[in-house]
Amino acid sequence: MGSYRATGEYRRDSRYITTRITADGQDGYPVAPGRYRLVVSRACPWASRAIIVRRLLGLEDVLSMGVCGPTHDQRSWTFDLDPDGRDPVLKIERLQEAYFARFPGYERGITVPAVVEVTTGQVVTNDYAQLTLDLSTEWTRYHRQGAPQLYPEHLREEIDAVNEVVYKDVNNGVYRCGFAGSQDAYDEAFRRLFSRLDWLSERLSSRRYLVGDAITEADVRLFTTLVRFDAVYHGHFKCNLRKLTEMPVLWDYARDLFQTPGFGDTVNFDHIKRHYYEVHKDLNPSGVVPLGPDLSNWQLPHDRAALGGSPFGEGTPPAAPVD
């Protein structure tokens, strides 16, 4: 979902439904258990953020989750993983139906993650960046005991600053490489991406996590790009200066997070690979999905604990995943 500047630079369409679900219900949608359903795809890095945060905070019992398949057509994600291709709670086959229920003829992208109100079947928000912050700050009444502080008030300014540059150069930077419409646009995006990865390597060489001494929203946002890097972005998006496995600090950091409950246990590499290689027919006309790379190395040991800190701060790990 995006367009191109005259220079060939890929520009993501960032016009999202910005309605918020808040503790005081200021937008007309108050936090309430069972009222909403989080719709995701495990293929999508933006949706994966919400999956991880929901699990880390222990919100599974109050915010149900519907999982779309790894592929979609030009307009909508579909519930092809469910019996009869229909979400068992929302009773719809295509996420598009929830968007149209609130905005008939909705013309922007039908994106995940999206939160849908169960009783009306209407989409509430697809603003993925604000969504995870609100799960941390507005849903606190329903957090599990021992839930981590992913967006602590005293670190928010630093987290926001890190998130901004990581989004521009890394999260969206890989897409700016993959969908570049000219050589100059690709070259510029490529240089910015690997310059930022070098910056992150330097930052993480002396600290276990991006901000503070425990995992935060910043780590969640970087992880979902790093975990897809060798499987997809290195080849499919031409981000091929170095593999993640050839960047020692980031590779250790990514494995540390992958092996932390709530991160790696939400990842489905098959869905990730099928999505990018089957859906992006302009980049991969054959739709052939590569068998590699070998992904068993994500469980190799690392020594990141020697840098100090603890993944959950004073909290505890989440229970085993239930969905």
26 burial level (CB within 10 Å; 0-12, 13-18, 19+): exposed
Phi, psi of 118 (to 5 degrees): -65, -45
pLDDT of residue 302 exceeding 90, the answer is yes
> Which pLDDT score is estimated for 67?
98
pLDDT digits (tens, 9 = 90+) for 173-201: 999 999 999 999 999 999 999 999 999 99
Which positions are catalytic?
Answer: 44, 175
- Percent pLDDT > 90 in the chain is 92
- Domain regions of the chain by residue span: 13-142
Confidence band (pLDDT; 50, 70, 90) for 3? very low
pLDDT of residue 6 exceeding 60, the answer is no
Residue 293 or 1, more confident: 293
pLDDT digits (tens, 9 = 90+) for 124-135: 999 999 999 999
* The token pair that represents 250 in the structure block: 């980031």
pTM above 0.85, yes or no: yes
* Cβ-contact 231, 222 below 8 angstroms: no
pLDDT digits (tens, 9 = 90+) for 27-81: 999 999 999 999 999 999 999 999 999 999 999 999 999 999 999 887 789 999 9
> Which pLDDT score is estimated for 55?
98
CA distances from 217 to 132, 223, 304 (A): 8, 10, 19
Average confidence (pLDDT) over 147-166: 98
Q: What is the CATH number of domain 13-142?
A: 3.40.30.10
Average confidence (pLDDT) over 198-222: 98
Average confidence (pLDDT) over 297-302: 97
Whether residue 30 has a cis bond before it, omega within 30° of 0: no
pLDDT digits (tens, 9 = 90+) for 75-86: 789 999 999 999
> Which pLDDT score is estimated for 289?
97
Question: Which residue in 221, 200, 218 sits closest to 149, CA to CA?
Answer: 218
pLDDT of residue 166 exceeding 70, the answer is yes
